Chains A and B, each alone.
Chain A
Amino acid sequence: MKRLSFYALLTLIIGYTVFPYYWAFVSSIKPSSEIFATPVGLWPHSPTLENYRLVLSNAGFLQALVNSAAVCLASVTMALTFGSLAAYALGRFQFRGRTATLYLVLSMTMFPQIAVLGGLYAIINQIGLFNRLPALMLSYLLFTLPFTVWVLTNFFKQLPGELEEAAIVDGATPMQTYRLVLLPLLSPALVTTGLLAFIQCWNEFLYALSFMQTPDRYTVTRAIFSFAGVTGSGYEIPWGQMMAATILVTLPLLVLVLILQNRIIAGLTGGAVKG
């Protein structure tokens, strides 16, 4: 009896967390006649990929996918490059100012983006980056870089010291040790951290909304916010297509997250345990 109610509770929790996504999926494979019908069918009668076909022929949406990918890749690459160097210093060097820098980085991971919107908006206009993708690549470093430094520093700290000593005995410089010994060991950590930073960029909306103006510069969040279907009547939002677009832009990341879930949970919660 106790077991039964435990599993009932589990089912309830899983149902709660998964149902909205399930519903988006079901709606995405329903024909219009079923989407806009009552009573609502909990599964599709005649499933169709029509919504996906329409979304994939939607030039605006495809452009947004390309824009998002470019912005996220650029920002994450910069964050990993600069971040791993900084994390090497913070994780494996002893120097004055190390703790202070570490605290600075940690507080930056909680930095509210909205607090610099005014200054950033003015600067971006002044240097002529308004409505240009590099504005986003740069401004996303505000959250990707501190996050990357913080997580990678923890990973660098966990590496055993003997590796570095052995490399130094062999005559390697610190930079050679970094490049040839430490970085290869940390490549799984780099992948996980990069994925998490990528997700943060992919999800960003406030800056994308404020700094990009014309539809050809939209990112996926911006495109889905003002989603216009290929064949919209103009009166009703094309929900089927929007759900198909939502599934398309979330499924690849979701699959990656589920594959890497153990490492992601370790990366995300590392700070909570160590304090």
Chain B
Amino acid sequence: MERRRLAWLLLAPTLLVLAVVAFYPLAQTLAYSFTDARLGSSRPVHFVGLRNYFDLLVDPRFYSSLSLTVRFATVTVVFEFTLGLIIALVINSQFRGRGLMRAAVLVPWAIPTVMSTQMWKWMYHDVFGVLNDLGLRCGLLAAPVAWAADPAYLFPALCAVDIWKTTPFIALMLLAGLQVIPADIYEAADIDGASPLQQFWALTLPLLRPAIVVTLIFRTLDALRAFDIFYVMVGNRPHYQTLAVFNQQVLVEFSRVGPGSAISVVIFLLIAFFVFVYMRLFGVRE
């Protein structure tokens, strides 16, 4: 009894802070999304029902940003997962220099996204960039490419930054999952004459499932709210925005709190939907 009271007392500061910085703003966001609130305006706020949501449904910018966000999330998650799994399998084998390898893998993760994007932007430079230089030297490119300006290359260029930055993290998550798989089941499989490929499909992948699900959820959530890479690489150009960039622009730059909050709610629902799909698809069990 005494201990139970103390437990809640210990939790109180945390719950209070979370209420202030998370739950209250979330409720406010939801409430604002049904109004025509603006910042810095003395005009009274009106309840407008679902109008902000209907406006979104006929706004081409909403569809272009939604499609860009989903395409970006799909491409990056597929590549990051595949590459991450390969790297994790490589690190998981015994070899000299494994520590060095793990350290190298942490480098992209530890660098802030804004800085990584600037680093890549410099590598992408159309005249003085190292990618064009290397490509021309190796004969992969016939002429220099404006990676970050040419619409044909911009999307892969953006994905490449995210893939570079996040693959290592995925590799580490999957590696942690690989390391708890007991080695003797592979020995048994060897005795039974299973090929490495058969072992991978029949043993490694199923046993890795919990780690895979957690990793996929984390990554998809991250990719769906992508902001930094796009904002730094392209700015808030109206034709090349993710949902988050679109959201931030409406809210902060245009001070339109009502419509902006409606976009926030849509992003929240979209993310919740993806989590739900993953849970159903992979059947998360405790």
On chain A, the residues within 8 Å of B252 by CB distance are: 121, 209-210
Residue-wise interface mask of A (201-240) relative to B, using a CB-CB cutoff of 8 A (1 in contact, 0 not) = 0110110011000000000110011010000000000010
Instruction: Report yes or no: A85 in contact with B176, Cβ–Cβ below 8 A.
Output: no
Shortest Cβ gap from B275 to chain A (Å): 8
Output the nearest chain A residue to B104 by Cβ-Cβ distance. Answer: A14
Q: Out of A24, A96, A114, which one reaches B264, CB within 8 Å?
A: A114
Instruction: Report yes or no: B14 in contact with A119, Cβ–Cβ below 8 A.
Output: no
Instruction: Report yes or no: B130 in contact with A40, Cβ–Cβ below 8 A.
Output: yes
Q: Is B68 engaged at the interface, CB distance under 8 Å to the other chain? A: no
Q: Is B87 engaged at the interface, CB distance under 8 Å to the other chain? A: yes
Residue-wise interface mask of A (28-39) relative to B, using a CB-CB cutoff of 8 A (1 in contact, 0 not) = 000000011111
Shortest Cβ gap from A176 to chain B (Å): 12
Instruction: Report yes or no: B111 in contact with A254, Cβ–Cβ below 8 A.
Output: yes
Instruction: Report yes or no: A261 in contact with B106, Cβ–Cβ below 8 A.
Output: yes
Instruction: Report yes or no: A24 in contact with B106, Cβ–Cβ below 8 A.
Output: no
| Distance A60 CA – B134 CA, assembled complex (angstroms) | 35
Q: Out of B115, B214, B251, B257, which one reaches A271, CB within 8 Å?
A: B214
Shortest Cβ gap from B16 to chain A (Å): 9
On chain A, the residues within 8 Å of B130 by CB distance are: 23, 40, 42
Instruction: Report yes or no: B14 in contact with A142, Cβ–Cβ below 8 A.
Output: no
**What's the tally of chain A residues with a CB closer than 8 Å to chain B?**
90
Instruction: Report yes or no: A39 in contact with B133, Cβ–Cβ below 8 A.
Output: yes
Question: Interface-forming stretch among B28-36, B73-81, B184-192?
Answer: B28-36
Shortest Cβ gap from A85 to chain B (Å): 5
**What's the tally of chain B residues with a CB closer than 8 Å to chain A?**
100
Residue-wise interface mask of A (237-275) relative to B, using a CB-CB cutoff of 8 A (1 in contact, 0 not) = 001001100100110011001100100110011011101
Instruction: Report yes or no: B286 in contact with A275, Cβ–Cβ below 8 A.
Output: yes
| Distance A253 CA – B31 CA, assembled complex (angstroms) | 40
Q: Is B50 engaged at the interface, CB distance under 8 Å to the other chain? A: no
Instruction: Report yes or no: A85 in contact with B14, Cβ–Cβ below 8 A.
Output: yes
Q: Out of A120, A209, A258, which one reaches B25, CB within 8 Å?
A: A120
On chain B, the residues within 8 Å of A253 by CB distance are: 110
Shortest Cβ gap from A93 to chain B (Å): 4
Question: Interface-forming stretch among B2-10, B57-65, B150-158?
Answer: B2-10
Q: Is A192 engaged at the interface, CB distance under 8 Å to the other chain? A: no
Instruction: Report yes or no: B101 in contact with A13, Cβ–Cβ below 8 A.
Output: yes
Instruction: Report yes or no: B28 in contact with A82, Cβ–Cβ below 8 A.
Output: no
Restricting to A61-92, which residues have a CB under 8 Å from any CB of B?
A: 78, 81-83, 85-86, 88-90
Q: Out of B25, B95, B214, which one reaches A275, CB within 8 Å?
A: B214
Q: A118-B28, A119-B27 are in contact. Are A110 and B221 (CB under 8 A)?
A: yes
Q: Is A167 engaged at the interface, CB distance under 8 Å to the other chain? A: no
Instruction: Report yes or no: B107 in contact with A21, Cβ–Cβ below 8 A.
Output: yes
Output the nearest chain A residue to B27 by Cβ-Cβ distance. Answer: A119
On chain B, the residues within 8 Å of A221 by CB distance are: 112, 114-115, 228
Q: Is A197 engaged at the interface, CB distance under 8 Å to the other chain? A: no
| Distance A4 CA – B215 CA, assembled complex (angstroms) | 31
Shortest Cβ gap from B232 to chain A (Å): 6
Instruction: Report yes or no: A203 in contact with B104, Cβ–Cβ below 8 A.
Output: no
Given A13-B104, A21-B107, A239-B125, list of 4 further CB < 8 A pairs? Answer: A38-B128, A116-B25, A116-B264, A275-B284
5 contacts between A and B (CB under 8 A): A13-B87, A206-B244, A209-B248, A254-B110, A268-B169
Mark A residues whose CB is within 8 Å of B.
6, 9-10, 13-14, 16-18, 20-21, 23-24, 27, 35-40, 42, 78, 81-83, 85-86, 88-90, 93-96, 98, 101, 108, 110-123, 125, 138-139, 141-142, 145-146, 149, 174, 199, 202-203, 205-206, 209-210, 220-221, 224-225, 227, 239, 242-243, 246, 249-250, 253-254, 257-258, 261, 264-265, 268-269, 271-273, 275
